[in-house]
Structure 1
Amino acid sequence: MRKMLAAVVSHVFSGATQKPAMRGLLASLNFSNDATCDIKKCDLYRLEEGPPTSTVLTREEALKYYRSMQVIRRMELKSDQMYKQKFIRGFCHLCDGQEACCVGLEAGINPTDHIITSYRAHGFCYTRGLSVKSILAELTGRRGGCAKGKGGSMHMYGKHFYGGNGIVGAQGQVAEAYNISALWKLPCVFICENNRYGMGTAIERAAASTDYHKRGNFIPGLRVNGMDILSVREATKFAADHCRSGKGPILMELQTYRYHGHSMSDPGVSYRSREEVHNMRSKSDPIMLLRERMINNNLSNVEELKEIDADVRKEVEEAAQFAITDPEPTLDELAHHIYYHNPPFEVRGTNKWIKYMSVS
């Protein structure tokens, strides 16, 4: 092995052309394999102990997390652009700024676990395994979308993923869900992505108590730094272990922030200042925090991360081009996939004389 590496180094520095892959190999020889990182202690409710305050981050994990968060960020920015160009219509809620939540949650659970989300779900679609092409094509209502162009931004689905539900946090329903899950000791992790605003209302104006991790009352809770992917990952592992051990449900509040407004019709500046958004971007951005952690711990360098950024931009641009050129579903497919594993049957259209054939 040593002879092979020596030969590689000798070949490169003897004047041979340095290809990017070769430069990457040489650079990787000097990177650390892992690093021990300190993370913020979680606030606990009805728990004697919580997640650890330090964790090990491997180089492989760091690169994976960084790329995933960059893909989601670029995908949301492209969605914003495509909406303004009228390729995307209807409701559209972007999650840029909250990337550490979806990537960190996925890093702390198993692929076979089930996730149900709210409407701000594009990032979760990606972390659950859906491609950027299928997500953007769903936003534009094309056949190549993950729901074949019928769901749009608010109704996306994948394996073990049921996303884009419009009603979130309705107090009666939440209380009922808390109650029955605690009564039956269901292995359920409730997530509150606290991005500080309910549509356009600051949480301090809407809630007498903003300790959302205590809202389960009889359910244990954690309040987590939702801008740090490692904090989210470790808290999720802790919560998942709590449920898998038969202790019943647990509630996690992820303190995060959205850069865009509530939806595309909300500029997001009438109820908060531009300075506030700028401060969050400059001091607490989840991608920036991970990038600094990787560089400071010698898990990567600026050049390598720039290469990842360029690759991500290319992937998202190609996906966007697909999303605006892929054909829309035909009208005769309007009633398809109403039921799963059902024989074909007729469905009446908006005109009682028109009938469509529904197939699974």
Structure 2
Amino acid sequence: MAAAKKKANVSGDELLEYYREMLLIRRFEEKAGQLYGMGQIGGFCHLYIGQEAVVVGLEAAAKEGDSRLTSYRDHAHMLACGMDPKGVMAELTGRKDGLSKGKGGSMHMFSKEERFYGGHGIVAAQVPIGAGLALANQYKGEDTVSFTYFGDGAANQGQVYESFNMAALWKLPVIFVIENNHYAMGTSQERSASTPDFYTRGEAFGIAGAAVDGMDVLAVKAAGELAVKHCREGNGPYVLEVKTYRYRGHSMSDPAKYRTREEVQKVKDNQDPIDMVKEMILQGKHATVDDLKSIDKEIKKTVQESADFAVASPEPDVSELYTDILV
């Protein structure tokens, strides 16, 4: 077990695709933040700005049929696995045309078609569900993997270790992805975790693991491919700690006074995942500055259309309160 330093070898077209996907997530999240400020999105709203390389890199290592689920910072996971931006934004605004008919909102939408089994509002509650999805895949004889995402704060919850134990016992094909953005809500990792490396938390159960720079999409893809290979070959679960950083507060209601502006700015200036890919594209002459500006313009148009669609969509009928529930 060690830090994964290998980077994936990719083509110019793949680099451009990762750039496009990460930029879509960032622009979408920026627009979601605006709509929240305008009162169009209610309840809680947790943005993924700064962490884009994590989910884009891991989706690049996934294949058709793999399942994924996460906690409440989930919009990026939805977009990365192919869910329609219009349907996602309409769900955030609680509208009828949302992917969960406006009843899931920011934190709880699903898509069985894309094998996305939800954002979950209860910290770490998704982890045993992720192990359960892996058990179902194994039982059905599918050559698929369950990507189970959770944060550094959730990594201290008891049900995580119950899940580790069962996954190790039954050699379940589950990748426990710890998105370590260094702040569990407002508490720094140094103050909340007794060990500096979360990927070693599976050692007591005999679970292999590694840590990777989550600001580098190519490093994430390479680490994801190793984890996926481990699971698909029948070696049981894997713990992948992805060291990342969020630029905004824990949620839209968080003023983030527990860290300095200088700290955030330093990461933006030196480690921004989108800027890193942009630099590789330009240095490799895979596109020009004008080409990248055109991509940004196109993505902003897509995001604006999703916002317009969401705001124009009607609210669900009151009768929807009584559908999709166990009576």
TM-score interval (norm. to shorter): 0.7 to 0.9
Q: 2:294 maps to what in 1? A: 307
Q: 1:184 maps to what in 2? A: 170
Matches within 5 A, 1:64-143: 64-143=17-96
Q: Name the SS of the counterpart of 2:9 in structure 1.
A: strand
Contact 2:207 2:239 in 1 (8 A): yes
Deviation at 1:304, TM superposition (A): 0.6
Q: Which amino acid aligns with 1:294?
A: I
Matches within 5 A, 1:344-359: none
Q: Distance in 2 between matches of 1:310 and 1:56?
A: 28
Q: Name the SS of the counterpart of 2:202 in structure 1.
A: coil
Higher relative contact order (CA 8 A, sep 6+): 2
Q: Distance in 1 between matches of 2:91 and 2:9?
A: 37
Matches within 5 A, 1:163-242: 163-166=118-121, 167-168=123-124, 169=154, 171-217=157-203, 218-242=206-230
Contact 1:88 1:139 in 2 (8 A): yes
Q: 1:289 maps to what in 2? A: 276
Deviation at 1:111, TM superposition (A): 2.5
Percent identical residues: 48
Q: Distance in 2 between matches of 1:187 and 1:75?
A: 32
Q: 1:62 maps to what in 2? A: 15
Q: 1:161 maps to what in 2? A: 116
- Normalized per residue, the structure richer in helix is 2
Aligned length: 292
Q: Which amino acid aligns with 1:106?
A: E
Contact 1:185 1:248 in 2 (8 A): yes
Deviation at 1:301, TM superposition (A): 1.7
Q: Distance in 2 between matches of 1:257 and 1:237?
A: 22
Q: 1:3 maps to what in 2? A: none
Q: Distance in 2 between matches of 1:256 and 1:320?
A: 28
Q: Distance in 2 between matches of 1:130 and 1:282?
A: 31
Q: 1:279 maps to what in 2? A: 266
Q: 1:52 to 1:209 in 2, by over 3 A?
A: closer
Contact 1:111 1:128 in 2 (8 A): no
Q: Which amino acid aligns with 1:78?
A: K
CA RMSD of superposed structures (Å)? 1.3
Q: Which runs of 5+ in 1 are unaligned?
A: 1-43, 340-346, 348-360
Deviation at 1:52, TM superposition (A): 7.0
Deviation at 1:54, TM superposition (A): 4.1
Deviation at 1:318, TM superposition (A): 1.0
Q: 1:4 maps to what in 2? A: none
Q: 2:252 maps to what in 1? A: 264
Q: Distance in 1 between matches of 2:31 and 2:213?
A: 27
Please list every run of at least 4 consecutive aligned residues from structure 1 whose deviation after the TM superposition is greater than 6 angstroms. none
Q: Name the SS of the counterpart of 1:73 in structure 2.
A: helix
Q: Deviations over 1:294-314 (max 9, x none)?
A: 111122221111000000011
Deviation at 1:326, TM superposition (A): 0.5
Q: Distance in 1 between matches of 2:230 and 2:196?
A: 24
In the alignment, structure 1 residue 247 sits paired with structure 2 residue 235: yes
Q: Name the SS of the counterpart of 1:300 in structure 2.
A: coil
Q: 1:13 maps to what in 2? A: none
Contact 1:51 1:238 in 2 (8 A): no
Q: 1:187 to 1:299 in 2, by over 3 A?
A: same
Q: Which amino acid aligns with 1:312?
A: I
Q: Which amino acid aligns with 2:219?
A: S
Q: Distance in 2 between matches of 1:337 and 1:163?
A: 15
Q: Which runs of 5+ in 2 are unaligned?
A: 125-153
- TM-score normalized with structure 2 length: 0.87
Q: 1:149 to 1:104 in 2, by over 3 A?
A: same
Deviation at 1:336, TM superposition (A): 1.7
Q: Name the SS of the counterpart of 2:117 in structure 1.
A: strand
Q: Which amino acid aligns with 1:295?
A: L
Q: Name the SS of the counterpart of 1:191 in structure 2.
A: strand
Q: Distance in 1 between matches of 2:8 and 2:80?
A: 21
